[in-house]
Structure 1
Amino acid sequence: MNSIKIQIPSLNENIRIIESFIDNAKEKYNIDDDIYGNIMIAVTESVNNAIKHGNQNNKKKNVSLSLILEDNVICFTIEDEGEGFDYNNLPDPTSPENIDKPSGRGIFLMKHLSDEVAFENDGRVVKLSFYFN
């Protein structure tokens, strides 16, 4: 089992560190292009949510990202230091009253791009799993 972990202060500009982390993982574990794009979007979206909603853009709070590779599953775990949220009662971004809202699509996107999405610790931890052969 392979695993790597990084931690970043909650600043939007640190998203590029996350992108490099994913690029390095792509090289190191030979991740296919077809899932690489999904990983990049889903993981950066999740980290963005952790920075903005979880840690309320408080640069004293960190977001950690870890990657675990087992058999043919790569799992990214994103954790923030916020209050958590009720992930069972999220507005549907595809319903007519929400369709024009600029936010609210992150988790919807994550669920569509990942093979599995799990929330833990009251929503402070998100696990995104991607299968490959």
Structure 2
Amino acid sequence: MNDLHTNLTFPSDPKNVSKVEPFVHDVATRYNLPPEKHGDILVSLTEAVTNAVLHGNQGDCNKHVSISLSRKSDALAISVSDEGPGFDPGAVPDPTSPEHIECCGGRGLFLMRHLSDECRFKRGGRTVEMHFKL
């Protein structure tokens, strides 16, 4: 299989998070993704985009969120970038630890890390890159 690539960029408006589900559905169909991976990809990408809009760009509609996706024969790579100041993902507490179990926040990163096969941050926390084995 040849490498397949697609991109999507949109203003950082919370309403635009709704673009993720049809985007994932379209990608799953066009790239013939295994059905059992669809949910993990959808939840991970929705969390990454929500974080980029709300935390990275702080809802500033003059800033943009970009999704880049590529598929090779055995893996799917997705990156989500924002134009915000970045953050230190290591400073986000584990939401499953007893002292943070009832706190709001941090669950999106937890989900991305656990639903993808690899999750790493680049550009000072302004880009998250997730890999899914197919």
Q: Quickly name the TM-score band, shorter chain normalised.
A: over 0.9
Return the letter of the residue paired with 2:118: E
Cross-structure match for 1:101: 103
Q: 1:42 maps to which residue?
A: 44
Shift of 1:57: 0.7
- Find the aligned partners of 1:72 and 1:111 in 2 and give their Cα distance: 19
Residue aligning to 2:63: 61
Give the SS at the match of 2:93. Answer: coil
- Runs of 4 or more above 4 Å deviation: none
**Post-superposition offset of 1:88:** 2.0
Deviation at 1:31, TM superposition (A): 1.1
- Alpha-carbon contact 2:4-2:31 (below 8 Å) kept: no
Distance in structure 2 (CA, Å) of the matches to 1:128 and 1:108: 13
Residue matched to 1:73: 75
Q: Indicate the residue corresponding to 1:110 in structure 2.
A: 112
Aligned counterparts of 2:20 and 2:130: Cα–Cα separation in 1: 14
Give the whole-Å Cα distance in 2 for the aligned partners of 1:22 and 1:108.
20
Q: Per-residue displacement from partner, 1:62-84 (whole Å, max 9, x unpaired)?
A: 00001011121101110000000
CA distance in 1: counterparts of 2:13 and 2:103, whole angstroms: 23
Question: Aligned residues: percent identity?
Answer: 40
Question: Of residues 27, 30, 36 in structure 2, which corresponds to 1:25?
Answer: 27
Mapped partners of 1:102, 1:85: distance in 2: 17
| Number of equivalences | 132
Query: Could you tell me which amino acid in structure 1 is paired with residue 40 of structure 2?
Result: N
Structure 1: 5+ residue stretches without partners: none
Question: In structure 1, how many angstroms separate the alpha carbons of the residues matched to 2:105 and 2:91?
Answer: 16
**How large is the Cα RMSD of the aligned pairs?**
0.9
Q: When the two structures are superposed, what TM-score results if normalisation uses the length of structure 2?
A: 0.95
Q: Secondary structure at the match of 1:88?
A: helix
- Letter aligned with residue 3 of structure 1: H
